[in-house]
Structure 1
Amino acid sequence: MIWFLLMLFIFGLMMGLFHVPVWIVYSVVGVMLVIFMVRNPLLLGKDTEKMEAYLKKSKAPFYQFLYHFLQGDLSAAEKAMGKIRSKKSKRIAESMLLMEQKQYGKAKELLQQMSGLKTKWYALSEIAIHENDPEAFEQHKAKLSDTYFLHMLNVDRAVHNGKKEEAIALLDNMIPKLRGYKLLSAIQYRKQILEGKV
């Protein structure tokens, strides 16, 4: 994605140097953005098989990590995590692995070092659910405004309380409205619940 944005910037700069009319620059940039969004199914895709294939084929270490993580292959995910260069992405990946391994104390320490991302507050809220800490849960949940994460917290609480049918019903209501990676993760979570892995 960084390469795409860099190319877009250079292209825009070159068009500006040659005094191309602004409406042409905006049109070309708009077309390039649409092409990028269509080629990356993780942004707006509805076909989960295409998204999984995209993650599997991707050379980006974070996407490789996500593929293995969603498939439940934690050892391969850990190997892929070792190749991630971005500190932010590596911390997110490490915290996801720690939470999957139920090492909530280590995950909390790592999450506290991160800046105020919505994924941080979601993860801390989820940890509070597992640690039966309603005060921390409400404190972290209050910092979330993303409706996807708020709905997923309701699903997490239902699963934690043993109400798996309720969790499936909540996911079934969410899934038709989702796109991209959020859709893929919701479907994978639903599958894990049905298979009794969570």
Structure 2
Amino acid sequence: MIWFLLLVFIFALVMGYFQVPIWIMYGVLAVMIIFFLIRNPLVFGKDPEKMMAYLKKSKAPHLQFLYHFLHKDLSVAEHAMGNIRSKKAKQSSELMLLRERKEYGKAKDLLAKMSGHKTKWYTLSDIAIQEEDTDSNKQYKEKINDTFLLNMLEVDQAVFDGKKEEAVALLEKMIPKLRGYKLLTAVQVRKQILEGKV
């Protein structure tokens, strides 16, 4: 991503030096952005296998973490997390590991340090489901506007209640409408439910 932005910056400088009309600059920039989005299957991808292959090949530490995390290889994922430079991505990765290991106290401590956004409220709501705290679950759920996260909370609740068939049915209904990372997440959760890992 950094290389892409650096390339765009250098390209803009060169075009500015040669005084290329602004509409040509915007046109070229739009083509470059579209090319980047098409090349990255995690944005609009429809094939989970291609997305997993992309994660596996990626050199970016956060994407390596995601690959190992989604394969439930938590020790390797934790090692990859140590190489993540972005503070926000590192916190997000650590939070995912803490939730997976059911270390909810540590997860809440980490969440207290994070600013309020949909991921924070989703995680707190999911922890409330696991701790059977209905009032907190309702309180946090009201702060979420993202329909994908709200649907995933329904799936989490169904799994917690032992209604795994209902959870799979909810995911089956969601999957055709999803793209990119959201699709990959839903497919992996469905796979884990069907394999009895959740």
Q: Which category describes the TM-score, using the shorter chain as reference length?
A: over 0.9
5+ residue gaps, structure 1, are none
Q: 1:116: which partner in 2?
A: 116
Q: 2:22: which partner in 1?
A: 22
1:5-38 CA-partner distances (Å, limit 9, x unpaired): 2322332233233221122111101110111011
1:125-179 CA-partner distances (Å, limit 9, x unpaired): 1001001111111121111111110110111111111111110010000000000
TM-score, with structure 2 as normaliser: 0.96
1:32-79 CA-partner distances (Å, limit 9, x unpaired): 011101111000000111100110111100000000000011111011
Q: RMSD across aligned C-alpha pairs, in angstroms?
A: 1.1
Give the Cα–Cα distance (whole angstroms) in 1 for the partners of residues 52 and 71 of structure 2.
Answer: 9
TM-score, with structure 1 as normaliser: 0.96
Give the Cα–Cα distance (whole angstroms) in 2 for the partners of residues 141 and 19 of structure 1.
Answer: 52
Pair 1:167-2:167 in alignment: yes
Moved more, 83-92 or 7-16: 7-16
Moved more, 105-114 or 61-70: 105-114
Q: 2:68: which partner in 1?
A: 68
Q: 1:49: which partner in 2?
A: 49
Give the Cα–Cα distance (whole angstroms) in 2 for the partners of residues 145 and 22 of structure 1.
Answer: 37
- The amino acid across from 1:174 in the alignment is M
Report how many residues are paired: 198
5+ residue gaps, structure 2, are none
Q: 1:189: which partner in 2?
A: 189
Find runs of 4+ consecutive structure 1 residues off by over 6 angstroms. Answer: none
Change (3 A) 1:116 1:7: farther
- The amino acid across from 2:113 in the alignment is Q
- The amino acid across from 1:67 in the alignment is Y
SS of 1:59's equivalent in the other structure is: coil
Give the Cα–Cα distance (whole angstroms) in 1 for the partners of residues 81 and 138 of structure 2.
Answer: 31
